[in-house]
Amino acid sequence: MYDVVKDYYGKQLQSSADLKTSACCDVSSMPEWLKPLLTRIHPEVLARYYGCGLVAPAALDGCTILDLGCGTGRDVYALAQMVGAHGRIIGLDMTEQQLAVAEQHKTWHATQFGYDNVQFVQGYMEQLDQLDLAPGSVDVIVSNCVLNLSPDKASVLKGIFRLLKPGGEFYFSDVYADRRVPDAVKNDPELYGECLGGALYWNDFQHMARRAGFTDPRLVEDRPLTMTDPAIAARIGPVHFYSATYRLFKLDGLEPDCEDYGQAVIYKGTLSNAPDRFVLDKHHDIETGRVFPVCGNTWRMLHDTRFAAHFEFIGDFSKHFGLFEGCGGGLPFDITASGNASAACC
Ligand SMILES: C[S@@+](CC[C@H](N)C(=O)[O-])C[C@H]1O[C@@H](n2cnc3c(N)ncnc32)[C@H](O)[C@@H]1O
């Protein structure tokens, strides 16, 4: 499938408008704080954006980030501004033509930002051990609509786990199906290129993530995809596809279920762009100053990561009260776009 994908992104697509699904969404639904960052990105890079979500987690100042399947670099150049002059971002992609556009505008962006903290590398995300990066050296790995294109997703997740620092995270948007995709869809080159054929059934993804060491995958946001091309809609049949953003923390001590130790956190409101609330995931929208009860896993995701300085922590692990109420079960995605409180956007 590598050649099919290289051909699709390197030769067939010329701009986001050539895509045949609503995977790539409207700039107007993007958070206000992100818009000025995008105005400092070259128009050709913006025009060739093929992502399906927002991969801009909080607290990135000074971080080392790796973007898998960076394409022409829209997210790389946005994140370069978020990590700042002391941070570093590496964009990896296998398609020469995509990287050529990204590289072509590197100096232009360095002039815009006042520093050059960006590097692009040609390679395969299934071979992360070939990169000049030490195990446990990367703070955050991002990816936007790429994992579905991999013929060996389990290897990609294992490679990511190896590269992340303890407490680091894989924060990524991708396409998922509500069931295992039939072979006719999987083997259709156009559907594969459109990020549908290779999409994982969401529950298979969650098991795969756990097997790679990411014990508690957290869904951040999601939206159903609409097939804007009737011919494509006819070929995919009854399968429903979703764009979803997950965050996977590399943390020792995470448990298979959300366990209740009577703990709570208080968000200090100190993260830039988030004075009123911190959204960890779809189920944890934590208002500033409020005592917010959390399970042991959520505690660790805040206490043992780059977010720790922004929280007060109440309690410890000395007493167990059973399972944390209301966790898990069923399709995690909203089936209508309007049902989604924080509409996913890119
Ligand atoms: C849907 S596009 C997304 C590009 C970019 N993330 C964006 O948001 O514009 C998928 C990209 O992933 C790259 N890609 C697909 N499979 C890959 C692999 N196995 N290793 C590295 N890059 C890959 C493609 O070359 C393409 O540029």
pLDDT tens string 58-101: 999 999 999 999 999 999 999 999 999 999 999 999 999 999 99
Decide whether any atom of ligand 1 lies within 6 Å of the 227 Cβ. Answer: no
List the residue whose alpha carbon is closest to atom 12 of ligand 1. 69
**Domains: count for the chain:** 2
Tell whether 300 and 227 lie within a shared domain. Answer: no
Question: pLDDT exceeding 90 applies to what percent of the chain?
Answer: 82
pLDDT at 240 over 50: yes
Could you tell me if 68 and 178 lie in one domain? yes
Question: According to DSSP H, which parts of the chain are helical?
Answer: 2-7, 35-39, 43-47, 74-83, 96-104, 106-113, 153-163, 183-186, 189-193, 202-211, 230-236, 296-303
Minimal CA–CA distance to 254: which of 154, 166, 155?
Answer: 166
Question: Based on the domain organization, do 287 and 192 belong to the same domain?
Answer: no
Confidence band for 340, pLDDT divided at 50, 70 and 90: very low
Is the same domain home to 178 and 296? no
49 within some domain: yes
23 lines ligand 1 (CB under 6 A): no
Per DSSP, the residues of 46-106 read HHT----S----S--TT-EEEEET-TTSHHHHHHHHHH-TT-EEEEEES-HHHHHHHHHTH
Does residue 320 sit within a domain? Answer: no
Mutation choice for ligand 1 from 75, 99, 149, CB with most ligand atoms inside 8 A: 149
In a domain, 299, yes or no: yes
Q: Within this chain, do residues 142 and 280 fall inside the same structural domain, yes or no?
A: no
pLDDT in tens, 109-160: 999 999 999 999 999 999 999 999 999 999 999 999 999 999 999 999 999 9
- For position 299, what pLDDT does the model report? 98
Name the band, by pLDDT with cuts 50, 70 and 90, for residue 339: very low
| 304, part of any domain | yes
Q: Find the CATH number of the domain harbouring 221.
A: 3.40.50.150
Measure 299 CA to ligand 1 centroid, in angstroms: 33
Residues 31 and 155 in one domain: yes
Testing ligand 1's pocket by substitution, the residue of 121, 124, 127, 146 carrying the most ligand atoms inside 8 A of its CB is 146
The pTM for the full model equals: 0.94
Domain that holds residue 89: 2-253+330-339
| Ligand 1 in reach of 93 Cβ (< 6 A) | yes
Mean of the per-residue pLDDT values for the chain? 92
pLDDT over 90 (residue 45): yes
Distance 328 CA to ligand 1 centre (A): 31
Measure Cα distances from 115 to 65, 88, 89, 133, 258 in Å: 16, 11, 12, 22, 43
Q: How far apart are CA 271 and CA 252, in angstroms?
A: 25
In a domain, 345, yes or no: no
Residue 295 lies in a domain: yes
Confidence of residue 328 (pLDDT cuts 50, 70, 90): low
Structural domain contains residue 105: yes
Q: Which residues contact 339 (CB under 8 A, 6 or more apart)?
A: none
Looking at ligand 1, which residue's alpha carbon is closest to its atom 25? 95
Tell me whether residue 164 is in a domain.
yes
* Residue 24: band (very low, low, confident or very high) from pLDDT cuts 50, 70, 90: low
